[in-house]
Amino acid sequence: MLLLFARSIEKDGAALCQEGAPIKLIIIDSINAILGRRSMNAESVMVQQIGDEAKTLQDGFKRVLAVQRKYKIAVILTSHVRAEMDQMEFLGNLILLIVGGNDTTRNSMSALAYGLDLFPDQRAKLEGDPSLIQNSVQEIIRWQTPLAHMRRTATEDSELEGQTIRAGDKLALWYISANRDESVFEDPDSIIVDRPNARRHLAFGHGIHRCVGARLAEMQIAILLEEMAKRRMRVNVVGEPTRVAACFVHGYRKLPVEITKY
Ligand code: HEM
């Protein structure tokens, strides 16, 4: 379901947040998937009906909210923090959760296939020793850095590496560059599944806004690798990837692969 949702975002990305955008049943379904509701029960049937009836995305989310108030759809939506949010803030957070947790993990999974295929010796090392999975997850996220940068606004004058920064300056924090810093990571352009300091990557950002879904993302990628290992499944790249033409999302639009066993 999440994958389908990913596709719908890809197609309609820009239109998604606009008033009047056509709502897709899949979007409401995705909320269920994200919130961990995989079984069909009275509430999720109701949520699906909302997807059918709602005329716009916002209308859909508003209706979901109303049902959630009544039926307590999920812990995340019924927490005390939620009670302190006005409707726009709630909708903003909901969209951030859905979008933030989508392209990022999806592209990390493609990176897993592409990167391990590029470095077959490392793939062999990982296949031979599944205890390297946790570290490999960090390494793949470092190597890919699915979100290349974030922006901050300086709150006070300062100096960094001889550069003067004035209060109010807007700064691009290139996480992708930090993750390939050769003074921190030896041979940074290579995937090294047992890299001792892979965890030092900055792909989840830094500070108060550091990715709230980091643990979930790590878990998802680890589970994928574990399940592949159980099945002795190998993903072979059979053509060059088409990349997302963007400086923010560092990802893949298309990656032709075939699956074999090892
Ligand atoms: C490999 C996967 C992921 C990567 C690389 C990633 C990366 C990031 C980055 C770089 C930021 C901004 C940090 C900053 O401003 O310094 C961020 C924020 C955020 N991420 Fe993720 N993310 C991933 C997965 C997820 C998942 C699975 C979720 C939720 C389901 C999620 C939800 C969020 C949210 C809600 C924020 C905003 C946090 C805030 O502003 O306080 N992310 N993420």
CA–CA distance, 102 with 5 (Å, rounded to integer): 8
The yes-or-no verdict on residue 5 having pLDDT over 80 is no
CB-based pocket (< 6 A), ligand 1: 96-97, 100-101, 104-105, 108, 141, 146-147, 150, 175, 203-207, 209-213, 216-217
CA torsion sign, 112 to 118 to 122 to 124?
A: positive
Higher-confidence position of 25 and 252: 252
> Ligand 1: distance of its center to the CA of 210 in Å?
7
CA–CA distance, 116 with 237 (Å, rounded to integer): 9
Higher-confidence position of 255 and 6: 255
Q: Which of 204, 220, 225, 247 to mutate to test the pocket of ligand 1 (most atoms within 8 A of CB)?
A: 204
Average pLDDT, the chain: 81
The residue whose CA is least distant from atom 17 of ligand 1 is 211
The residue whose CA is least distant from atom 41 of ligand 1 is 209
**In this predicted structure, what is the pLDDT of residue 7?**
32
> What is the per-residue pLDDT across 132-189, written as a single tens digit (0 to 9) for each?
999 999 999 999 999 999 999 999 999 999 999 999 999 999 999 999 999 999 999 9
- The position carrying tokens 């999806």 is 106
CA torsion sign, 246 to 199 to 106 to 109?
A: positive
Domain boundary assignment for the chain:
2-100, 104-148+186-261
> What is the per-residue pLDDT across 95-128, written as a single tens digit (0 to 9) for each?
787 778 888 999 999 999 999 999 999 999 999 9
**HEC readout, 29-77:** HHHHHHCCCCCCCHHHHHHHHHHHHCCEHHHHHHHHHHHHHHHCCCHHH
> Ligand 1: distance of its center to the CA of 203 in Å?
9
What percent of the chain shows pLDDT beyond 70?
69
- Report which ligand 1 atom has the smallest distance to the Cα of 216: 27
> Ligand 1: distance of its center to the CA of 101 in Å?
7
Identify the bridge partners of residue 236 per DSSP, sorted by sequence position.
258
Q: Which of 108, 179, 211, 220 to mutate to test the pocket of ligand 1 (most atoms within 8 A of CB)?
A: 211
Identify the bridge partners of residue 257 per DSSP, sorted by sequence position.
237
CB neighbours (10 Å) of residue 213?
17
Q: How many residues does the chain have?
A: 262
DSSP the chain: -HHHHHHHHHHHGGGTTSTTPBP-HHHHHHHHHHTT--S--HHHHHHHHHHHH-SBHHHHHHHHHHHHHHH---HHHHSHHHHTS-HHHHHHHHHHHHHHTTHHHHHHHHHHHHHHHH-HHHHHHHHH-GGGHHHHHHHHHHHH-SB-EEEEE-SS-EEETTEEE-TT-EEEEEHHHHTT-TTTSSSTTS--TT-TTGGG--TT--GGGS-TTHHHHHHHHHHHHHHHHHHTEEEEE-SPPEEP--SSB--EEE--EEEEE-
